[in-house]
Amino acid sequence: LKDAADKGYVGVIAYTRGKRWSPDDINPYEFEANDTYDVIDWISKQKWCNGKIGMYGGSYNGFSQWAACKTVHPALKTIVPYVANRPGMGLPMENNIFINPNYEWAFYVGNNKYLDNETGNGRKRFRSMMFNWWDKGEAYNKMDSIDGTPNRWFQRWITHPDFDEYWQKMAPYKEDFKQINIPVLAFDGYYNDSQNSSLYYLKELQKYSPNTPFYLIIGPYGHFGTQQGGEKEVNEYKVDEVALFDIRKITYEWLDYILKNGPKPSVLKDKINYEVMGANEWRSTPSFEKMNNDVLKFYLSNQKKNGTYYLDPKTSNKNTFLSQTVDFKDRKLSGNSDYYPSPIEKNELDQSTGFIFTSNPVEKSMIVNGSFVGGLHISINKKDVDLGVTLYELTPEGKYFHLSYYIGRASYAKDITKRNLLKPEDETWIEFTN
């Protein structure tokens, strides 16, 4: 608050329902879309308010800003979300796969009126719980029985595996974006766990309200590093010096620009501002689509080359498949995708749970950015399967540099709002993008 006052603003911190002195139960995400409107309305009527309000903050506070845009209050003039969450999309599930760390997060935010750091940092307890659950082969909804402590938030979330109305009403969804006409400045990181959430908002805003100005600053940061203006090292990777920035300074320059008619922050050369890893430079483009000028396309093959399957630049008319057998009784293999970028650069890949495809060496240097898209023809003897695809650069030194990944449940590939079970033994085409 002092920082806001020093910059010539009145700062207000509003806690979510159930926190601090609120007598209500704590239910993350569920009331922000309505409560933020009421809070902004109250602020706008105070004698110290000139009718122009801006919001900023990261993670959950990034989500609450977008929740405030579910119905935009006339006094809200801009938002500045850092690594914003989108409930139901990124957490507690990503592409309809529930993400286990969100199990313990529920206790971290729900156990008391503040934050339960002791429980939130109890990684040994929760890792033991997850391994016990896996080893025993219990149903997913028995997780808290294994932990020994009821988790009502977890139980509520898993009753909504679809991206249904429960999740949709928490933040802008589809047509809701049309009424958002306030400028947005967003910050994100290539290695932010909730990037799927954060960029979703901007892409939907661009789709439904193309005339609404938005800006993005993104670079080689994690979830917490982004909120600090970058970090010198992320997942054992040394970040370029130029990638580090003063996020608080830029935030207030932006607020001055929108609320006080000041100059636009000089770092915003265009709408999309991104740091090129390894090049120690920033680049800017007017849209996500303009970030690249070409596309590399590869096809999976069943031919091996130098110990891995060949990633072929040409398609083959041959109807060939690779077969994989999963024995659910064998609990030694605990992961279906070595997808998490930690460390970012690896000496070797886990080949025990999938297939590795390698292309020929790329002849010319290039900058790789944006989202990668793909498709898989699959046939299984079950009605569903979780898929994982990870993209790496194989360096001349033989190391694997993590570029991007996708995880998703096949039955939701066509529609995240409604499960469409696969037909056993039938061939199914699954499209994906991150």
pLDDT digits (tens, 9 = 90+) for 79-123: 999 999 999 998 899 999 998 888 999 999 999 999 999 998 888
**Tens of pLDDT, residues 419-430:** 999 999 999 999
282 in the same domain as 195:
yes
Residues 108 and 189 in one domain: no
User: How high is the mean pLDDT of the chain?
Assistant: 93
- Summarize the confidence of residues 148-170 as an average pLDDT: 97
Q: Which of 232, 260, 291 is the last residue of a domain?
A: 291
Give the pairing of strands 233-234 and 184-191: unpaired
Residues 199 and 66 in one domain: yes
pLDDT of residue 227: 96
Q: Which domain holds residue 24?
A: 2-91+166-291
CATH of the domain at 194: 3.40.50.1820
Please indicate, yes or no, whether residues 206 and 220 belong to a single structural domain of this protein. yes
Whole-prediction pTM value? Answer: 0.94
Q: pLDDT of 184-203, one tens digit each?
A: 999 999 999 878 889 999 99
231 with 375, same domain?
Answer: no
Give the span between the Cα atoms of 200 and 263, in whole angstroms: 28
Closest CA relative to residue 170, chosen from 57, 84, 239: 84
123-136 vs 101-110: helix crossing angle, rounded to 10: 140
Residues 388 and 311 in one domain: yes
- pLDDT surpasses 70 at 315: yes
pLDDT at 154 (0 to 100): 96
Do 170 and 277 lie in one domain? The reply is yes
Tell me if the bond preceding 172 is cis, omega within 30° of 0: no
Nearest to 420 by CA among 429, 433, 410: 410
CB atoms within 10 A of CB 358: 16
Picking from 59-68, 87-96, 252-261, 326-335, which range would have the lowest pLDDT averaged per residue? 326-335
Which two tokens mark 411? 């039955």
pLDDT for 337: 64
Whether residues 233 and 187 fall in one domain: yes
Residue pair 167/87 in contact by the 8 Å Cβ criterion: yes
* pLDDT digits 0-9 by tens, 354-368: 899 999 999 888 888
Preceding omega of 265 cis (within 30 degrees of 0): no
Percent of the chain surpassing pLDDT 90: 80
344 pLDDT tier (thresholds 50, 70, 90): very high
Domain check: are 123 and 106 in the same one? Answer: yes
pLDDT digits (tens, 9 = 90+) for 19-43: 999 999 999 999 999 999 999 999 9
Last residue of a domain, one of 157, 178, 202: 157
Please give the pLDDT value at position 68: 98
Domain boundary pick from 234, 261, 291: 291
**Pick from 120, 243, 127: nearest CA to 187:** 243
Q: How many domains does the chain fold into? A: 3
Residues 73 and 211 in one domain: yes
Same domain, 310 and 424: yes
Domain match, 134 and 117 both? yes
